[in-house]
Amino acid sequence: MIIKPSVSVLSSDRIEQGVELDLKVKTLAGAAAFISLPAVYAYTPLINSHDHLIGNWVPRAGDKRPYPNSHIWVEDMKNSFAFLERNMFWVNDGSFELTDPSASLIAKLGAYKNLFSGCGIVQDHAPLQKAEYYQQFPIFVPSSFRQCHSITLKNWWGGASPEEEMKITKGKIPFIIHLGEGTDELTKGEFAALKKSSLLADNTMLIHGIALEEEDLIAIAQAKASVCWCPSSNVFLIGKTLKTDLALAHGVNVVLGTDSTMSGGINLIDEFLAAKKAFPTLETKSLYKMVTENATKALMLDPDYAFLNPENTKNLLLIDKIDPDPFENLLQIEAENINLLVLDGIPRFGDTQWLEHFDLDMDDYTEFRTGKREKFVLGDPQELNDQIDAKLGYHKDFPYLPF
């Protein structure tokens, strides 16, 4: 099926009008061979490089902000309303066994948070789970990574020592670690400790980096490592964020992440807005690069995910044209104006009009209304919300769900 959006963002520095995209989705006999879409812009689906899918409960936790470092928050949030309410549905017994049905359900909701903001891929920072955990989601949650919680708290939540975890990567999959999430001496010392333990390499992705100084950012650029910026979470918890202007000036591969809604904003679009607020001169085009090209580099994913490919369009995000500038248009994304999201040739979410053309097993999908639009989605997020409501005994509203 050939589709022709008004404008196609092929990459962060290549925008073209009237490009015909060869959409690789299984279509019904009699489906239209050509569809013109004059009111939508095309992108490749976005990539959220940092989330804790299990942590997407609300409201945000943190009564003693700003914290000098996030390690204090990790303890403090255990007394928060959100944490205690989540305990009514699922109690973390310390094993971080997220294939537990209740834990899985919350993690799936977290994946929908990402899907409903235009993400096709999310990195779920948690101890590595069993293979089936990663296969249950409506979007792509990569399982090829190793991790450590942080230099200071080590792998308190599960996993081997950071050195052992890094060794297992053999440099071929990412090594992910929170670093410098604070303003005190403890968090300032984490980068030196990282280097001393030989954990700074081209497959290292450092989360946050608030405490990083200019010379540290230069060392990160030289090592070809990546830094994941989570502005909304940082400003909320710590009151400060990464020196992104310096990081970019020195050529650091900066990516963007939401963190969970226990500390971060509602979704990735909130993160775009927080990024612009922290650095008003930062171009939205740079943010798009962070959630596409830079993210595939940091997460060591197939580079196909970084660009929109007109000849073989297996990955596609169509958004209503609201702002004349296709990058600024991204700041307007809400579930309602996502026309279609396809990843790996599978339609994940979109307007129900597409169902006239796509050959889908509708047992795998559900439909709902948001605003004035009828939508289809892979899986059944409303049922997940219902299960939580049934256990809590009242309706729990998750602001990232569009129904």
Smallest CA-to-CA distance from 314 within 54, 64, 120 is with 120
CB of 126 to Zn ion, least distance (A): 10
CB of 276 to Zn ion, least distance (A): 21
CB of 181 to Zn ion, least distance (A): 8
Choose between 98 and 306: whose C-beta lies nearer to Zn ion: 98
Strands (E), 12-57: 14-17, 21-22, 34-43, 46-51
Per CB under 5 A, 259 contacts Zn ion: yes
Residue 403 three-state SS: coil
CB of 82 to Zn ion, least distance (A): 15
Q: Which range touches Zn ion (CB under 5 A), out of 20-28, 92-100, 254-262, 308-316?
A: 254-262
Choose between 259 and 293: whose C-beta lies nearer to Zn ion: 259
CB of 46 to Zn ion, least distance (A): 18
Q: Which range touches Zn ion (CB under 5 A), out of 107-115, 183-191, 258-266, 310-318?
A: 258-266
For residue 250, give both structure tokens: 């020195």
Beta bridge partner(s), residue 377:
349, 366
Binders of Zn ion among residues 52 to 71 (CB under 5 A) are none
CB of 257 to Zn ion, least distance (A): 7
Per CB under 5 A, 271 contacts Zn ion: no
The span from the CA of 399 to the CA of 384, in Å, is: 14
Q: Which range touches Zn ion (CB under 5 A), out of 76-84, 157-165, 253-261, 367-375?
A: 253-261
263 near 236, Cβ under 8 Å? yes
The span from the CA of 299 to the CA of 8, in Å, is: 25
Per CB under 5 A, 124 contacts Zn ion: no
Q: Which range touches Zn ion (CB under 5 A), out of 158-166, 251-259, 286-294, 395-403?
A: 251-259
Q: Which range touches Zn ion (CB under 5 A), out of 252-260, 291-299, 348-356, 360-368?
A: 252-260
CB of 22 to Zn ion, least distance (A): 38
The span from the CA of 364 to the CA of 375, in Å, is: 14
Choose between 177 and 220: whose C-beta lies nearer to Zn ion: 177
Choose between 259 and 270: whose C-beta lies nearer to Zn ion: 259
For residue 69, give both structure tokens: 């470092």
Q: Which amino acid is at 211?
A: A
**Rounded to the nearest 10 degrees, how much is the dihedral formed by the CA atoms of 100, 104, 107, 109?**
-140
The span from the CA of 179 to the CA of 369, in Å, is: 41
Where would I find the H helices in 42-125?
70-76, 81-87, 101-115
Choose between 125 and 297: whose C-beta lies nearer to Zn ion: 125
Q: Applying CB under 5 A, which residues contact Zn ion?
A: 259
